[in-house]
Amino acid sequence: MDYFANDLTSLHDLLVKKEISATDLTKETLAVINEREQKVDAFLSVDEEGALKQAAEVDKTGIDADNVLSGIPLGIKDNIVTKGLRTTAASKILEKFDPIYDATVIEKLKSAKAITIGKTNMDEFAMGGSTENSAFKLTKNAWDQTKVPGGSSGGSAAAVAAGEVIASLGSDTGGSIRQPASFNGIVGVKPTYGRVSRYGLIAFASSLDQIGPFTRTVKDNALLLNAISGADTRDFTSSKHEVPDFTKGIDSGVKGMRIAVPKEYLGEGVADDIKKAVKNAISVFEKLGAKVDEVSLPHSKYGVPVYYIIASSEASSNLQRFDGIRYGHRAQDVKNLEDVYVKSRSEGFGDEVKRRIMLGTFSLSAGTYDAFFKKAAQVRTLICQDFAHVFGKYDLILGPTTPTTAFGIGEDIKDPVTMYMNDILTIPVNLAGLPGMSLPAGYSKGLPVGLQLIANQFDETTMYRAGYAFEQATEFHKQIPMIGGQN
Amino acid sequence: MAISEDKVAHVAGLAKLAFSKEELQKFTGQMDEIINMVQQLSDIDTTGVKVTTHITDSINTMREDVAVKGTERELLMKNVPEHQDGFIKVPAIIDENEEA
């Protein structure tokens, strides 16, 4: 199946008209994955047997004509638990973990008759921005296999960009959906905090984590978010806000839309080719009838330190559960219970995870709590207030997703300002619980550039409407990486 | 230095992590850099600013108190590293080398 020549709607038509069966679609998808994995290594595991079984079941009961995901194979980030299908969060500590239940999003996809075809690579416990922190393998960028796919959801992004699947799920704690979407030239959305249930998402930082979709088009993204959103009694932070049809009015344009561009998002550390693409995007929106103004988010520059303290503190608490007793790696050659804890954790966690557990434990410990955790939680309030102020006057915020295009595998970023800016554009959105999207807005030296759109809480509809208008007015999303067999 | 090796070793103990001498040195250097970076927050006046520790607008989420079937014990044991007769097995809680 050529996923570059199709979208969810056209695939659904083929399935409904029985021009292709779910089994054939799954077989063709497995064949493409088999071929392209040699170049991108996006998957940690491909569930050939399980996927074909699910597809046979869909063919037996029939494609659901009202359900666009019916019979569609999807990739799932490996920190989302799947019943009976190995889920490792790319960590040695969960190397042999076979969940006994499905995450809520997986239940929803299964009831929509979607097919889970495999689990995608990521930074261990979603900590990182290049997928190089995986304990198991290196995933490559779909556009250039010497570059990182971004992270932490690098496998989910590369799989869609390489045309291995039409869509996938990732998770975003500080940019882990939007940044890899940007690096791979696809559409990635972090929904409003609480829009999607976190039940069955292996927790990193519970006040920031959200599951969201990767797709090649804006409308496909809205369709997938439709399927996974909604309140869940098993996640009390999931919201009871009404879930609209995110595709409704998606084509109604941006005439009169008030768009804010924070001056901090186009400042020092953002590469010229990125600025150029964003400025071009601004002129596209203006031509489409939107009103674009420069604004300020004065506390956004503190987003990185606030994030490091809050996310690490929550992680240090969440990751206490990995103690070698009930599940996960248990160290051998131990003399007592304390040994089980310390050795299992020290052997099972990678360095980046240990660093964050250490920083979090330090930030929460007696004597440092006030100066670190409490201070960061106060500055978080100021960051939220900055956004609230802007959304009092504007419908949407626009800026780059990342300060540079994808960097090289194994390449350390030497310039500290760039390193600092790497996360600064995505992190504030998580701190304030807002929805954010990255979509293709240009290419520089053959690598994709991402445009970030940020909406007010629970206003994904505005974000999708603007993204769709931009996509329809431009050709960036039509470019295909060499791995797709053409360019 | 914003943080000493002793302090890092203390934090490692709280976090139930063990480091070799070389690792401890490396982590102390890295922790020091990170702590220096985050200390810029002390420049901001946050007098009277409330903390944000979550961003949901819900206060209490209630549900009906109804009995539901729990997970089968056998299934719960599926990922337990060591178990026997339906119980999770752990090493002696009291160190074998210690006097009882």
| pLDDT for res A485 | 66
Q: The domain containing residue B20 runs over which residues?
A: 5-43
Question: How many Cα atoms are found within 13 Å in the side-chain-facing hemisphere of A136?
Answer: 24
Cross-chain Cβ contact B90/A340 below 8 Å:
yes
Q: Examine residue B27 and state whether it is found in any structural domain, yes or no.
A: yes
Q: Give me the residue spans of the domains in chain A.
A: 3-251+436-449
Flag whether pLDDT at A486 surpasses 60.
no
Could you tell me if A156 and A75 are in contact, meaning their C-beta atoms sit under 8 angstroms apart? yes
Flag whether pLDDT at B19 surpasses 60.
yes
Chain A neighbours among B 25-54 (CB < 8 Å)?
Answer: 27, 30-31, 34-35, 37-42, 44, 46, 49-54
Per the prediction, chain A carries an average pLDDT of 96
Count of C-beta atoms within a 10 Å radius of residue A378: 20
| pLDDT for res A4 | 95
Percentage with pLDDT > 70 across chain A: 97
Query: How does residue B91 score in pLDDT terms, banded at 50, 70 and 90?
Result: confident
Active site residues of A: 77, 152, 176
- Determine the distance in angstroms separating the CA of B79 from the nearest CA of chain A, rounded to an integer: 5
Flag whether pLDDT at A82 surpasses 80.
yes
| pLDDT for res B88 | 93
- Determine the distance in angstroms separating the CA of B1 from the nearest CA of chain A, rounded to an integer: 15
In total, how many domains does chain B have?
A: 1
- Asked if CATH classification 3.90.1570.10 holds for the domain at A3-251+436-449, the reply, yes or no, is no
Cα–Cα distance, A240 to B40 (Å, whole number): 38
Work out whether the CA dihedral A275, A276, A277, A278 comes out positive or negative.
Answer: positive
Query: How does residue A120 score in pLDDT terms, banded at 50, 70 and 90?
Result: very high
pTM to 2 decimal places: 0.96
Flag whether pLDDT at B97 surpasses 80.
no
Cα–Cα distance, A433 to A201 (Å, whole number): 17
What is the DSSP secondary-structure string of B53-84? Answer: S-----S-------------HHHHGGG-SSEE
Q: Examine residue B84 and state whether it is found in any structural domain, yes or no.
A: no
Flag whether pLDDT at A45 surpasses 90.
yes
Question: How many Cα atoms are found within 13 Å in the side-chain-facing hemisphere of B14?
Answer: 19
Q: What is the CA radius of gyration of chain B?
A: 23
The total number of residues written for chain B in this structure:
100
Q: Examine residue B34 and state whether it is found in any structural domain, yes or no.
A: yes
Flag whether pLDDT at A417 surpasses 60.
no
- Per-residue tokens: A286: 């203006």
Cross-chain CB nearest to A365 (options B11, B78, B92): B11
Cα–Cα distance, A175 to A53 (Å, whole number): 34
Q: Examine residue B89 and state whether it is found in any structural domain, yes or no.
A: no
- Per-residue tokens: A74: 């999807």
Percentage with pLDDT > 90 across chain A: 93
Cα–Cα distance, A440 to A277 (Å, whole number): 10
Residue pointed to by tokens 């070799």 = B20
pLDDT digits (tens, 9 = 90+) for A197-255: 999 999 999 999 999 999 999 999 999 999 999 999 999 999 999 999 999 999 999 99
| pLDDT for res B95 | 61
| pLDDT for res A407 | 94
pLDDT digits (tens, 9 = 90+) for A352-406: 999 999 999 999 998 899 999 999 999 999 999 999 999 999 999 999 999 999 9
Span A315-323, mean pLDDT?
A: 97
Cα–Cα distance, A448 to A430 (Å, whole number): 23
Q: Examine residue B67 and state whether it is found in any structural domain, yes or no.
A: no
Chain A residues with CB under 8 Å of B15 CB are 316, 345, 357-358, 361
Query: How does residue A78 score in pLDDT terms, banded at 50, 70 and 90?
Result: very high
Give burial (CB, 10 Å; 0-12/13-18/19+) of A19.
exposed
- Comparing CA positions, the residue from A205, A207, A378, A318 lying closest to residue B54 is A207
Could you tell me if A480 and A4 are in contact, meaning their C-beta atoms sit under 8 angstroms apart? yes
Lowest-confidence region among A166-175, A289-298, B48-57, B58-67: B58-67
| pLDDT for res A412 | 67
Chain B residues with CB under 8 Å of A375 CB are 41-42, 44, 46
| CATH code: domain of residue B36 | 1.10.20
User: Does B8 reach chain A within 8 Å, measured CB to CB?
Assistant: yes
- Per-residue tokens: A220: 């496909």
* Cβ-proximal residues to A30 (8 Å cutoff; 6+ apart), any chain: A46, A48, A51, A52, A117
| pLDDT for res B100 | 46
Chain B residues with CB under 8 Å of A381 CB are 49-52
| pLDDT for res A58 | 98
What Cα–Cα distance (Å) separates residue A179 from each residue in A3, A35, B24? 22, 26, 32
| pLDDT for res B37 | 85
Q: Examine residue B15 and state whether it is found in any structural domain, yes or no.
A: yes
- Per-residue tokens: A342: 């310390």
| pLDDT for res A389 | 98
Query: How does residue B33 score in pLDDT terms, banded at 50, 70 and 90?
Result: confident
| pLDDT for res A108 | 98
Interior CA angle at A453 toward A448 and A457, to 5°?
145
ipTM of the complex: 0.93
Span A11-39, mean pLDDT?
A: 98
Flag whether pLDDT at B98 surpasses 80.
no
- Per-residue tokens: A37: 């994995």
Flag whether pLDDT at B70 surpasses 60.
yes
